[in-house]
């Protein structure tokens, strides 16, 4: 389905490589967790797979073809088969939740049906079923600006559940959720992808869930893949190494972490 070979990529709108020499393969229907410290390149990887940005170098193929060698129209048709749930879903504040959820189906609709969906959603029952799976049974007709941060994030996940995409990408989908709700939401997402026959890739900071619920884990550090395999092969030493940069200040900042004594005059 997707193959990356020696791919370099910048963050969205940037020009400096964030991903360096990434090699990765994703098969149809596969479920993969991506872990790593903040700034490791997880979001950039998902944006790259969602065809939101062109790689700076290396080889990127989707179904055997380079999507960036296609015409704009052909690439748009490929994008219609990919659904991305960003960590902060771009939901219009005055929009009803039903419309926000069903927007995931717009890429495959005719113009007429798309306009009808915006004013009077014909598939409201489909949106309601997705919301119920994410513990949002009474939010269908609320405006988005009446939702909490965690509820908005789950509306973003509901979009994946109703989409007709064959590749689901979720960027930190559990960041605003408590542990119990995070586990239920992840289960709903995985079950939905499995039922739809869609591939699922999630970036997660909840390492325990990544190891417990995914058959394959990809670990990123400083823009490079340092592990790709079964959770059982990801030992504590490598996990410590992945997140060590967040616990230890860089050498040039280490002295700033020490308390600075105040002049005596300021202590009077």
CATH of the domain at 40: 3.40.50.300
pLDDT for res 129: 97
Domain membership of residue 256 (yes or no) is no
Tokens standing for residue 97 = 């939740």
pLDDT for res 75: 92
- Considering its fold, how many domains does the chain have in total? 2
Q: Is residue 202 classed exposed, middle or buried when 0-12, 13-18 and 19+ CB atoms within 10 A define those classes?
A: buried
Decide if pLDDT at 30 tops 90.
yes
Decide if pLDDT at 264 tops 50.
no
The DSSP line for the chain is -EEEEEEEEEPTT--SEEEEEEEEEE-TT-EEEEE--TTSSHHHHHHHHTTSS--SEEEEEETTB-GGGS-HHHHHHHHTTEEEE-SS----TTSBHHHHHHGGGGGGS-HHHHHHHHHS-TTHHHHHHHHHHTT-TT-TTSBGGGS-HHHHHHHHHHHHHH---SEEEEESTTTTS-HHHHHHHHHHHHHHHHHHT-EEEEE-S-HHHHHHH-SEEEEEETTEEEEEE-GGG--HHHHHHHHHHHHS--HHHHGGGSPPPPPGGGG-
Which of 164, 185, 213 delimits the end of a domain? Answer: 164
Question: What is the separation of C-alpha 182 from the centre of its chain, rounded to a whole number of angstroms?
Answer: 14
Q: From residue 267, how far is each of 257, 261, 263 by CA, in Å? A: 21, 10, 7
On average, the pLDDT of the chain sits at 88
Banded pLDDT at 159 (limits 50, 70, 90) = very high
200 and 71 share one domain: yes
Angle, in degrees to the nearest 10, between helices 124-133 and 179-196: 130
Domain membership of residue 261 (yes or no) is no
R_g over Cα of the chain: 21
Domain membership of residue 263 (yes or no) is no
Banded pLDDT at 212 (limits 50, 70, 90) = very high
Domain that holds residue 43: 1-81+167-246
Which of 108, 140, 164 delimits the end of a domain? Answer: 164
Decide if pLDDT at 92 tops 60.
yes
Domain membership of residue 71 (yes or no) is yes
Decide if pLDDT at 185 tops 70.
yes
Share of the chain above pLDDT 90, in %: 72
pLDDT for res 117: 62
Decide if pLDDT at 105 tops 90.
no
Which of 164, 185, 211 delimits the end of a domain? Answer: 164
Domain membership of residue 212 (yes or no) is yes
Decide if pLDDT at 262 tops 50.
no
Decide if pLDDT at 18 tops 60.
yes
User: By mean pLDDT, which of 44-48, 91-95, 147-151, 244-248 is the weakest?
Assistant: 244-248
């Amino acid at each position: 389905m997707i193959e990356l070979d020696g791919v370099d990529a910048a963050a969205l709108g940037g020009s400096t490589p964030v991903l360096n020499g990434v090699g990765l393969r994703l098969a149809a229907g596969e479920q993969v967790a991506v872990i790593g410290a903040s700034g490791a390149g997880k979001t950039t990887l998902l944006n790259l797979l969602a065809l939101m940005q062109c790689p700076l170098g290396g080889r990127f193929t989707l179904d055997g073809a380079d999507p960036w060698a296609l015409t704009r129209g052909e690439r748009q048709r490929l994008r219609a088969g990919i659904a991305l749930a960003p960590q902060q879903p771009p939901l219009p504040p005055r929009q009803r939740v039903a419309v926000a959820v069903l927007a995931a189906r717009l890429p495959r609709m005719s113009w007429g049906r798309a306009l009808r969906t915006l004013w009077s959603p014909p598939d409201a029952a489909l949106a309601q079923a997705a919301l119920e799976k994410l513990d949002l049974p009474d939010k269908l007709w609320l405006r988005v600006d009446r939702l909490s941060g965690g509820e908005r994030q789950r509306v973003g996940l509901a979009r994946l559940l109703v989409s007709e995409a064959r590749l689901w990408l979720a960027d930190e989908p559990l960041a605003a959720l408590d542990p119990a709700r995070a586990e239920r939401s992840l289960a709903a997402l995985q079950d939905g992808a499995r039922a739809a026959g869609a591939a699922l890739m999630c970036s997660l900071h909840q390492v325990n869930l990544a190891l417990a619920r995914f058959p394959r884990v990809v670990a990123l550090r400083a823009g490079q893949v340092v592990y790709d395999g079964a959770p059982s092969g990801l030992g504590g030493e490598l996990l410590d190494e992945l997140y060590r940069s967040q616990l230890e200040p860089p050498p040039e900042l280490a002295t700033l972490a020490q308390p600075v004594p105040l002049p005596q005059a300021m202590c009077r």
